[in-house]
Amino acid sequence: MLHERQLSANREPMVCDLPRTGANARLRAVKIPSITLKWALALVALALAIFSVDWLWFGGAFRSVRSGFSGHCRAIALGGSSEYLQLDRERGLAYLSFLDRDSLERGEAVNGTVMLLDLNLADPAPRAAMTFDPGNFRPQALSLFKRGSEPARLLAISRHPDGSYSIEIAEQGSSGGFFPKEAIRDPAFISPSAIAASGAREFYLANDNTNSGAWAKVKEAVFRSGSATLIYYDGARARIEASGLDRIGGIATSPDASRLYVAEPLAKALRIYRRNPANGALALEEIVELDSAPAGLDVDEDGVVWIAAHPRLFRLGKRDAASLAPTQVLRFDPRQAAEARLTQVYLNGGDEISGGTVAARWRDEFLIGALFDEKVLICKPNP
Q: What are the structural domain ranges in the chain?
A: 34-63, 68-381
Quick: pLDDT tens for 299-318: 999 999 999 999 886 656 55
Distance CA 376, CA 77 (A): 7
Distance CA 116, CA 144 (A): 13
CB 357 within 8 A of CB 81: no
The confidence score (pLDDT) of residue 40 equals: 75
| DSSP string for 254-306 | -TTSSEEEEEEGGGTEEEEEEE-TTT--EEEEEEEE-SSEEEEEEE-TTSPEE
* CA distances to 75, 143, 188, 190 from 363, in Å: 18, 20, 38, 37
Average pLDDT of adjacent 10-residue blocks, the chain of 383 residues: 43 46 52 70 67 51 69 94 94 94 75 95 95 93 95 96 94 95 95 95 89 52 71 96 91 96 94 96 96 94 96 65 84 95 94 93 96 93 92
DSSP-derived letter for residue 99 is: B
| Torsion of Cα atoms, 268 then 371 then 201 then 131, to 10° | -160
Quick: pLDDT tens for 137-153: 999 999 999 999 999 99
DSSP-derived letter for residue 222 is: H
pTM of this structure: 0.81
- Residue 158 is inside which H or E element, if any? strand 153-159
The confidence score (pLDDT) of residue 29 equals: 56
The confidence score (pLDDT) of residue 51 equals: 53
Burial class (CB in 10 A: 0-12, 13-18, 19+), 72: exposed
Nearest in space to 305 (alpha carbons), one of 313, 296, 314, 297: 297
The confidence score (pLDDT) of residue 36 equals: 81
Q: Can you list the positions of beta strands (E) in 12-151?
A: 71-77, 85-88, 93-98, 113-118, 127-128, 139-145
| CATH for the 68-381 domain, from 3.30.70.20, 1.10.1840.10, 2.60.40.420, 2.120.10.30 | 2.120.10.30
The confidence score (pLDDT) of residue 275 equals: 97
Distance CA 156, CA 170 (A): 8
The confidence score (pLDDT) of residue 324 equals: 85
Q: Which residues contact 13 (CB under 8 A, 6 or more apart)?
A: none
